């Protein structure tokens, strides 16, 4: 085993632990800030940890059409997110940059969504199928956005290698990195949708289709899904930071981590505030919104191709 | 966008309004209708509360000639306060108690044993009636205490005159 | 004499068929007609005289007159007259022409008296069960006088299921309810969905029957019923208790003191305030906008505290007794009311401005849940739904009660016919309510708040009372009776009519809009379901024991 491989494993495991430890904390911040916006006291900031512990400790009930697939999708959802964490720089360089490229990252991102689809299909209730169809519609229009985001970087550097793409490549080429800035704006506007928060939580929509794909889940499996959702939020924010705002990530280890956490904190705050001040969109309205963003991202891609 | 800002201002102006309820309860207002409290010192055993209780929560049972038992069950009581309204002696007060959750519903019961006097004028009306006479006697109540049920008097019994010289109106 | 004018108009065509006429006051009219003409006369009243259909009531009058009676109530808004068209039916063969073909709004009410009293409405387009549970034996009618209030029918069939219609071609059946996060109470909508579009629906409700009307006919007394009536609904309880008290007072020709009437008005408007604030909150919650939900609940809370100070309880005021009210408004409480109203008005002006300009909300509510004026007329839709469709219908103005004839207020209307218009109507009505309460506080005379009633109420009289509840007109119908209790008490809550409009409102809409369309009528299922006896679970789901469910979920 070479030293670099060992290093990759160490940082990778460190990333996974970081995600698992910090994700519920982000959720706690979201809940607390939302509560304050709503003039409420709000739950203690460590409540999400307790929630997850409680869910994991409950009886594992097997129900629905295909219990095996349900279990698989629960594991898959968390596994996909945690695998993704190996490709995102968190305080240090991304652990597995040598092993994969930008395409793999896009696949992993899609896999997160696919696990939700599987969960809904496996549950097989009418409401979860509605959730699945909405999630699928959203995925079809959303995933290209992120793909374009990664590819813009690839175009700028002329390489699909992850370490090249991640290192602020989007701003590297032109004096006025229009493509990068445009893409950053687009991704900021779509971040809410990626993490499935109000106003884009159409696939879960508690008051319409009762948590959609997750309607049949309870106990540990629900705990895993919830954990995966929280982790997804953290990893997506980290990825966004890695792609578009990596300033400070070259600093020595603890400092770089703090900078990253601060930036993620800002993003989480943004997500919270947008979520707290909007009503949920209907799926057709959401799709129209995504489509507009997609057009913008294509413009960014074109700009990148012509060298801005 | 502007409306969102306006909404944000509304939210921020309000500040935190959650009350620290289970740790510190707000004082209840003066007219608050909580759990009724029965004062045995004042009760004259007229049964007005029992007859006006919409939830039939107050039972009367005449154990013997001179002892009337009043039992307030407190299970279905809606704290409407009609009993306190109609009590001629103000023996019932609506207290400020509202935290009445309990594992044992008997905790909510109140039982009064009221000593009833004998009629000074005729002296006859309170001779201990037999079971059949009890049923026909106006004013004599035998609610089902063990089962916690009001006994509905049927009209047919009351129409026959139990004791024609006494006028005790219940309904 | 507006009631006389209405009578003369009806007489022009139906003079020979009118058996008896009662005009107890200027604004009440009772017509006894022969059974043969009932459909024609209702059609004439509903279409030609443009009366609004209120409700139909079946009465078991056999112990007294040996007959069944059916009353069709109509409201003449222009003339400010509430009228009842009564038909006596023979005891052995209670059959009446259905008026539903002429008056579509009567469908539920006719099915209801068919279920509960066994009066057969001949020609009713839908004869399915409405109120009784599916397993209830045929031919047992719980509201008949010979049915004891605590009788449990022996042949209840737990396994019988409700026969729903077949879904249209190409549609998936989506069960909406009986338990759903946006339904705070149980009701079952069977939605026929094509893709994300709702193509139709069938309703099966009445799952929370509590037998209140039967209880009132047999067990409770006049002054106990108001305490029960206000528990019909968790939001508009005061409305029901005032409406009941007014119906009895009107039947017995009792005039409550002026101060009591003003206090009733104030409490009704306070109730409207907190109900509208609650609705704005809930509608936003349905749309996923929880911040506005929390904020409107925050603004609502001082009103609840105020009610607690006035009456001793946040919600169940225990306000009404026959002939007055129980709680007086002291000068300190008056100051309190003024202070809290000022505060609320200030905050609500800001909130209303923010809501009115919110594009995000408009996107979700404009063009959603359309109920146009024709639908309002046909199905007798009422309250904010009617006013949001440009129909200026408001019982406070049309049939003045309590002290509403002495205050000045506007009837808010909007022309959009959609959910957004309903939002606006309710948001703006808050200001009108505040105005009404202020005027009442100013004009309230001194004096007693309760009448001393020494005589028994005369039996056999009929009282009608319509009150503008926050959700629309709440209508109470009382026939006074012996033994200190009414013979018949019928409650028609606003949701009873408005729910009938839901299938038309959600047709061809997105499934996501279904919840807010339903939410926009502010449905109150416990109001609607108020009747019926026993706590028998609805038969349309087989009842599993806990053990069975556990066994089903665990595949061993």
**Percentage of the residues of chain C whose pLDDT score is greater than 90:** 13
Cβ contact A72:A239 at 8 Å:
no
Average pLDDT over residues A155-175: 63
pLDDT digits (tens, 9 = 90+) for C189-236: 888 888 778 888 888 877 777 788 888 888 888 888 888 888 888 888
CB contact under 8 A, B14 and C354: no
Rounded to whole angstroms, the Cα distance separating C135 from C138 reads 9
**What percent of chain C has pLDDT above 70?**
94
For B135, how many CA atoms within 13 A lie in the half-sphere containing its CB?
Answer: 8
Quick one: closest CA in B to A277, which residue?
B4
Residue C417 within any structural domain of the chain: yes
* Sequence-ordered alpha helix ranges (H) in C444-545: 494-498, 502-506, 511-520, 525-528
How many Å apart are CA C119 and CA C97, to the nearest integer?
A: 10
CB contact under 8 A, C301 and B79: no
pLDDT value for C72:
92
Question: What CA–CA distance (Å, rounded) separates C411 from C229?
Answer: 27
Q: Does A37 touch chain B (CB under 8 A)?
A: yes
Collect all residues with Cβ–Cβ distance below 8 Å to C316 and sequence separation of at least 6: B78, B80, C227, C230, C231, C237
Q: How confident is the prediction for chain A on average, in pLDDT?
A: 79
Match 């107050």 to its residue by tokens. Answer: B58
Same domain for C496 and C377: yes
Q: What count of CB pairs under 8 Å joins B to C?
A: 79
In chain A, % of residues over pLDDT 70: 82
Chain A residue with minimal CA distance to C549?
A63
pLDDT over threshold 80, residue A201:
no
The structure tokens 């129209």 sit at A288
Per-residue pLDDT at C71? 92
Residue of B nearest to A279 (CA): B4
Tell me: the pLDDT tens digits for B4-42?
A: 777 777 777 777 888 888 888 888 888 899 899 998 888
Q: What are phi and psi of A160, to 5 degrees?
A: -95, 0
CATH number of residue C119's parent domain: 3.30.460.80
Give residue C529's pLDDT.
58
pLDDT at residue number C193: 81
Give the nearest partner residue to C298 out of A39, A133, A198, using CB atoms.
A39
Q: Which of C164, C166, C168, C163 is nearest to C198 (CA)?
A: C168
Reference C396, options C226, C232, C272; nearest CA is C272
The position carrying tokens 């139906």 is: C14
Q: Is residue C13 part of a domain?
A: yes
Please list, in sequence order, all residues whose beta carbon lies within 8 angstroms of the beta carbon of residue B122, skipping any fewer than 6 positions away: B165, B166
**pLDDT tens readout for residues C527-537:** 665 543 333 33
Mean pLDDT score, C176-182: 73
Is this complex's ipTM strictly greater than 0.95?
no
Q: Do residues C489 and C225 make contact, with C-beta atoms less than 8 angstroms apart?
A: yes
Residue C368 has pLDDT above 80, yes or no: yes
Cα separation of A173 and A154, whole Å?
11
- Per-residue pLDDT at C539 exceeds 80: no
Residue C517 dihedral angles phi and psi, to the nearest 5° = -65, -45
And the tokens for B75? Answer: 């299970």
Q: What share of chain C is helix, strand, coil (3-state, %, to 5)?
A: 45, 20, 40
Which residue, of C112, C128, C147, is where some domain finishes? C147
- Residue C307 sits at the vertex; the CA angle it makes with C303 and C309, to the nearest 5 degrees, is 115
Do C289 and C374 belong to one domain? yes
How many structural domains compose chain C?
2
CA–CA gap between residue A126 and residue A128 (Å, rounded): 6
Residue of A nearest to B15 (CA): A39
DSSP three-state, residue C332: helix
Same structural domain for residues C312 and C405? yes
Torsion of CA C307, C310, C314, C320, to 10 degrees: -100
Q: Which residues have a Cβ under 8 Å from the Cβ of C52 and sit 6 or more positions away? A: C74, C75, C76, C77, C377, C380, C382, C393
The mean pLDDT value of chain B amounts to 75
Closest of C476, C226, C221, C449 to residue C324, by C-alpha: C449
Q: Which residues of C340-367 are buried (b: 16+ CB within 10 A; e: fewer)?
A: bbeebeebbeebbbbbbebebbbbbbee
Q: List beta partners, residue B71.
A: B59, B111
All residues of chain A having their beta carbon less than 8 Å from the beta carbon of residue C286 are: 207
Sheet holding C462-469, edge to edge: C462-469, C472-479, C488-492
Per-residue pLDDT at C241 exceeds 80 = yes
Task: Say if residue A199 is preceded by a cis peptide, omega within 30 of 0.
Answer: yes
Q: Give the best residue of C313, C315, C329, C349 to mutate against chain B (max B CB count within 10 A).
A: C313
Give the CA-trace dihedral at A196, A200, A204, A206, to 10 degrees: 120
CA distance A245 to A266: 12
Smallest CA–CA separation between B154 and chain C, in Å? 11
Higher-confidence residue: A129 or C12? C12
Task: Say if A118 is an interface residue toward chain C (CB within 8 Å).
Answer: no
Residues of C in contact with B7 (CB under 8 A): 291-292, 295, 351, 354, 358
Q: Would you say residue C526 has pLDDT above 50?
A: yes
SS3 at position B38 = strand
Q: What is the pLDDT of residue B159?
A: 36
Q: CB distance B4–A277 less than 8 Å?
A: yes
Tell me the nearest-neighbour CA distance from B88 into chain A, angstroms: 46
Closest by CA position to C52, among listed C26, C32, C78: C78
Q: What is the pLDDT of residue C63?
A: 87
A259: phi then psi, degrees, rounded to nearest 5: -60, -45
Q: Is residue C287 part of a domain?
A: yes
Q: Tell me the per-residue pLDDT of C415-457, one tens digit each, with 9 for 90 and over.
A: 888 888 888 899 999 999 999 999 999 899 988 888 888 888 8
> What digits encode the pLDDT tens for the residues A78-91?
898 888 888 887 76
Give CB contacts under 8 A, 24+ apart, made by A172-176.
Answer: A173/A307, A173/A308, A174/A307, A174/A308, A176/A308
CB C60 within 8 A of CB C71: no
Range of the domain at C416: 212-519
Same-domain pairing of C450 and C335: yes
Residue C371: both structure tokens together: 């109920």
Q: What is the tens place of the pLDDT at every residue in C116-135?
A: 888 888 888 888 888 888 88
Q: Are residues C359 and B11, on separate chains, in Cβ contact within 8 Å?
A: no
Chain C CB contacts of B155 under 8 Å are 483
Which pLDDT does position A99 carry in this prediction?
64
Same domain for C235 and C347: yes
Cβ of B14 and A39 within 8 Å? yes
Give the model's pLDDT for residue C236: 83
In what helix (H) or strand (E) does residue A34 lie, and over which residues does it extend? helix A3-37
Per-residue pLDDT band at C269 (split at 50, 70, 90): very high
Of C147, C181, C201, which residue is a domain's last? C147
For chain C, the first-to-last Cα distance in angstroms comes to 78
- Strand C81-90 and strand C28-33: the pairing is parallel
Q: Residue B139, class by beta-carbon neighbours within 10 Å (0-12 exposed, 13-18 middle, 19+ buried)?
A: middle
Nearest residue to C463 via CA among C484, C486, C483: C486
Q: Are C103 and C228 contained in the same domain?
A: no
Instruction: Name residue C200's beta-bridge partners.
Output: C192
Those of residues 456-485 in C touching chain B at CB distance below 8 A are 483-484
Tell me which chain A residues have a C-beta less than 8 angstroms from the C-beta of C515.
Answer: 207-208
Task: Give a yes or no: residue C463 inside a domain.
Answer: yes
For chain A, list the contacting chains (3+ Cβ pairs, <8 Å): B, C
Pick from C531, C457, C523, C524: which is nearest to C490 by CA? C531
pLDDT exceeds cutoff 80 at B88: yes
Residue C541 has what pLDDT? 37
d(Cα C73, Cα C85) in Å, to the nearest integer? 6
- Interface residue A41 vs chain B (CB under 8 A): yes
Q: What is the DSSP letter of C180?
A: B
Q: What is the pLDDT of residue C528?
A: 63
- B9 vs C contacts (CB less than 8 Å): 350
User: Are C291 and A276 a contacting pair at CB < 8 A?
Assistant: yes
Question: B38-66 burial string, b = 16+ CB within 10 Å, else e?
Answer: beeeebebbbbbbbbbbbbbbbbbbeeee
Q: Which residue's entry shows tokens 């947008």?
A: A274
pLDDT digits (tens, 9 = 90+) for B117-151: 666 665 544 444 555 555 555 556 677 777 777 66
d(CA C316, CA B63): 36
Q: Determine the pLDDT at residue A93.
A: 67
Please indicate, yes or no, whether residues C140 and C267 belong to a single structural domain of this protein.
no
Give the least confident one: A104-108, A275-279, B164-168, C184-188: B164-168
User: How far is residue C15's CA from residue C10's CA, in Å, rounded to a whole number?
Assistant: 7
Handedness of CA C456, C459, C464, C469 (dihedral sign): positive
* Residue C303 confidence (pLDDT) above 80: yes
| Residue A58 pLDDT exceeds 50 | yes
* Terminal Cα distance for chain A, rounded: 42
Is pLDDT above 50 for B157? no
Within 8 A of A278 by CB-CB distance, chain B residues are: 4
- CATH number for C432: 1.10.645.10
- What is the number of residues in chain B? 171
pLDDT exceeds cutoff 50 at A32: yes
Which residues share a beta bridge with C191? C174, C201
Peptide bond connecting B96 to the previous residue in cis, omega within 30 degrees of 0? no
Could you tell me the pTM of the whole model?
0.82
Going by C-alpha positions, the residue among A83, A95, A101, A105 that lies closest to residue A9 is A95
**Owner of token pair 């924010």:** A237
């Amino acid at each position: 085993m070479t030293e670099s491989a060992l290093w990759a494993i160490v940082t990778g495991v460190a990333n996974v632990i970081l995600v698992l430890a910090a994700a519920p904390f982000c959720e706690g911040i979201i809940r607390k800030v939302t509560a304050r916006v709503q003039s409420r006291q709000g739950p203690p900031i460590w409540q999400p940890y307790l929630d997850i512990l409680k869910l994991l400790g409950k009886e594992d009930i097997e129900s629905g059409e295909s219990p095996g697939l349900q279990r698989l999708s629960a594991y898959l959802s968390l596994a996909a997110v945690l695998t993704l964490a190996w490709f995102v720089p968190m305080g240090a360089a991304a652990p597995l940059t040598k092993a994969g490229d930008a395409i793999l990252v896009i696949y992993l991102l899609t896999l997160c969504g696919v696990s939700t689809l599987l969960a809904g299909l496996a549950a097989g209730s009418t409401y979860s199928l509605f959730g699945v169809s909405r999630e699928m519609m959203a995925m079809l229009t959303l995933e290209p956005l992120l793909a374009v985001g990664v590819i813009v970087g690839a175009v700028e550097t002329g390489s699909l290698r992850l370490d090249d793409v991640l290192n602020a490549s989007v701003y590297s080429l032109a004096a006025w990195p229009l493509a990068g800035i445009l893409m950053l704006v687009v991704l900021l506007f779509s971040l809410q949708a990626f993490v499935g928060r109000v106003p884009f939580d159409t696939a879960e929509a508690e008051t319409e289709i009762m948590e959609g794909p997750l309607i049949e889940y309870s106990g540990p499996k629900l705990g895993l899904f919830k954990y995966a959702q929280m982790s997804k939020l953290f990893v997506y924010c980290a990825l966004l930071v890695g792609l578009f705002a990596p300033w400070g990530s070259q600093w020595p280890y603890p400092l770089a981590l703090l900078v990253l956490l601060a930036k993620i904190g800002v993003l989480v705050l943004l997500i919270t505030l947008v979520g707290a001040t909007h009503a949920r969109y209907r799926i057709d309205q959401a799709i129209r919104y995504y489509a507009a963003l997609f057009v913008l991202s294509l413009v960014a891609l074109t700009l990148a191709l012509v060298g801005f | 966008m502007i409306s969102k800002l306006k909404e944000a201002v509304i939210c921020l102006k309000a500040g935190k309004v959650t009350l620290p309820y289970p740790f510190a309860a707000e004082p209840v207002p003066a007219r608050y209708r909580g759990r009724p409290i029965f004062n045995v010192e004042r009760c004259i055993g007229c049964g007005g509360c029992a007859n006006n209780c919409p939830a039939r929560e107050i039972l009367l049972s005449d154990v013997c000639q001179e002892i009337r038992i009043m039992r307030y069950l407190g299970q279905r009581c809606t704290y409407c306060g009609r009993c306190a309204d109609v009590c001629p002696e103000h023996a019932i007060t609506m207290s400020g108690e509202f935290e009445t959750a309990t594992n044992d519903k008997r905790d909510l019961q109140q039982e009064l044993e009221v000593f009833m006097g004998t009629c000074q004028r005729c002296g006859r009306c309170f001779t201990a009636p037999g079971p059949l006479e009890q049923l026909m006697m106006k004013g004599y109540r035998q609610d089902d205490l063990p089962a916690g049920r009001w006994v509905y008097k049927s009209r047919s019994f009351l129409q026959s005159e139990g004791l024609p010289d006494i006028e005790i109106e219940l309904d | 004499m507006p009631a006389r004018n209405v009578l003369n108009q009806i007489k022009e065509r139906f003079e020979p068929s009118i058996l008896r006429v009662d005009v107890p006051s200027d604004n009440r009219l009772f017509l006894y007609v022969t059974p043969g003409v009932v459909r024609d006369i209702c059609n004439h009243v509903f279409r030609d005289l443009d009366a609004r259909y209120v409700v139909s009531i079946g009465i078991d009058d056999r112990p007294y007159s040996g007959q069944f009676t059916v009353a069709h109530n109509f409201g003449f808004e222009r003339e400010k007259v509430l009228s009842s068209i009564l038909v006596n039916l023979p005891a052995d063969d209670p059959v009446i022409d259905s008026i539903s073909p002429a008056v579509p709004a009567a469908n539920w009410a006719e099915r209801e008296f068919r279920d509960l009293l066994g009066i057969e409405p001949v020609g009713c387009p839908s004869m399915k069960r409405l109120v009784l549970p599916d397993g209830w034996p045929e031919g047992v009618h719980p509201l008949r006088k010979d049915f004891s209030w605590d009788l449990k029918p022996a042949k209840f069939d737990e396994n019988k299921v409700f026969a729903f219609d077949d879904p249209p071609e190409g549609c998936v059946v989506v069960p909406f309810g009986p338990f759903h996060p946006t339904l705070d109470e149980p009701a079952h909508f069977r939605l026929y969905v094509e893709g994300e579009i709702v193509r139709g629906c069938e309703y099966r409700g009445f799952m929370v029957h509590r037998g209140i009307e039967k209880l009132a006919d047999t067990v409770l007394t006049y002054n106990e019923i108001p305490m029960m009536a206000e528990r019909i609904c968790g939001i508009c309880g005061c409305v029901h208790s005032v409406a009941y008290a007014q119906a009895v007072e009107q039947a017995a020709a009792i005039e409550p003191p002026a101060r009591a009437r003003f206090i009733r008005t104030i409490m009704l408007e306070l109730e409207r305030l907190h109900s509208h604030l609650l609705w704005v909150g809930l509608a936003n919650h349905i749309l996923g906008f929880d911040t506005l939900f929390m904020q409107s609940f925050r603004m609502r809370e001082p009103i609840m505290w105020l009610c607690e100070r006035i009456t001793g309880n946040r919600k169940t005021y225990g306000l009404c007794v026959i002939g007055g009210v129980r709680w007086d408004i002291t000068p300190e409480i008056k100051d309190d009311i003024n202070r809290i109203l000022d505060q609320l008005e200030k905050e609500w002006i800001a909130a209303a401005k923010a809501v009115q300009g919110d594009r995000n909300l408009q996107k979700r509510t404009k063009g959603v849940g359309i109920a146009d004026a024709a639908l309002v007329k046909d199905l007798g839709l009422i309250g904010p739904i009617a006013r949001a469709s440009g129909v200026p219908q408001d019982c406070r103005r049309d049939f003045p009660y309590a002290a509403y004839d002495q205050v000045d207020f506007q009837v808010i209307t909007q022309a959009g016919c959609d959910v957004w218009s309903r939002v606006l109507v309710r948001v703006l009505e808050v200001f009108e309510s505040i105005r009404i309460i202020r005027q009442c506080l100013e004009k309230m005379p001194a004096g007693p708040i309760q009448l001393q009633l020494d005589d028994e109420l005369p039996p056999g009289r009929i009282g009608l009372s319509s009150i503008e509840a926050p959700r629309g007109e709440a209508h109470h119908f009382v026939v006074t009776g012996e033994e200190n209790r009414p013979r018949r008490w019928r409650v028609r809550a606003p949701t009873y009519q408005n729910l009938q409009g839901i299938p038309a409102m959600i047709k061809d809409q997105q499934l996501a809009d279904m919840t807010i369309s339903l939410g926009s009528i502010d449905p109150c299922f416990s109001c609607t379901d108020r009747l019926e006896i026993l706590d028998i679970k609805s038969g349309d789901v087989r009842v599993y024991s806990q053990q069975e469910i556990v066994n089903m979920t665990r595949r061993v």
